[in-house]
Structure 1
C-alpha cells in the first residue's frame, strides 16, 4: 500500500500497524527507509533516504509539501493486517491499494479482451 501525504506547512506522518481494524496490538512500524518528496502537482519527485523509521517528515520548506512512500505486506509484524498513517498536524493522507494479498483462482479473474 502506498501513502500520499500532503500539508503545505510541513508535517510529520507516523506509521503504525495492528492486528485488527480496531487497533489490537498496535505498534509503530519502523521500516520506512526512503520516500519521495515533491513540490506539488506536476513537479519533479526527489528520493529522500533515511535510517529505517516509523515517521516521514514532510518539511514544507521550499514548497516541498507532498511525500509518498510504500509499505509492503512483508514489512508487517506477524499477525498484523492493518496499517495506519497519522498526521501530527492537519495533513491529509491518501492510501493507494495495490497488489492482491490473496491471489484468486484464474477462472475468477476478469477476461481482458
Structure 2
C-alpha cells in the first residue's frame, strides 16, 4: 500500500484552507516563498470547515527552515508558544515546516488552517491516519 492513504493525506493548495484533523494524528504544513522575501504564517482553529468560532491557536513552539532547493539542511527554530511563524527575508528561510498535533486543539475544535500573509505556498500533510484507505477512497480533508 502506498503512503497516500496509509499514513498521510495531502492538500497541495492549503493556504487559508481549514484542514479536518478529526481522523488523523495531526498535520504538517510545508510552506515556501522564494526570493528571500520572508513571510508571516498564522495558525487558526475552528469547529468546522466554515470557520465557526475561529480563533488563533497559539501552539507553535518550534518550526524548521531551509532554502527549499535541497542544497542545505533544515534548521530548527524555537519560539514561545504563538499562533504565528515569521520567516526572515533570507534564502535560508524560503522554506518552512511546522507540525500541529490534534491534541493541541481546543476542546470541540477539529479544524486548523495556516495562512500566509505574503504570497507563500502552503501545503498540508495530514499524518497518522486513523483509518487507512486506498487514495481514491480518502475523505476530503477540507470538508
Q: TM-score, normalised by structure 1?
A: 0.86
- State the number of aligned residues: 105
Q: For 2:126 and 2:59, how far apart are their aligned partners in 1?
A: 18
Q: Which runs of 4+ in 1 moved over 6 A?
A: none
Q: Which residue of 1 aligns with 2:12?
A: none
Closer, same or farther: CA 91–62 of 1 in aligned 2, 3 Å: closer
Unpaired stretches in structure 1, ≥5 consecutive residues: none
Tell me which structure has the larger Cα radius of gyration: 1
User: What RMSD in Å do the two structures reach over aligned CA positions?
Assistant: 1.7
Instruction: Indicate which of 25, 30, 55 corresponds to 1:4.
Output: 30
Q: Contact (CA 8 Å) 2:66, 2:91: kept in 1 or not? A: no
Counterparts of 1:40-55 in structure 2, within 5 Å, are 40-42=68-70, 43-55=72-84
Unpaired stretches in structure 2, ≥5 consecutive residues: 1-26, 135-143
Instruction: Indicate which of 59, 64, 67 corresponds to 1:39.
Output: 67
Superposition deviation, residue 109 in structure 1: 7.3
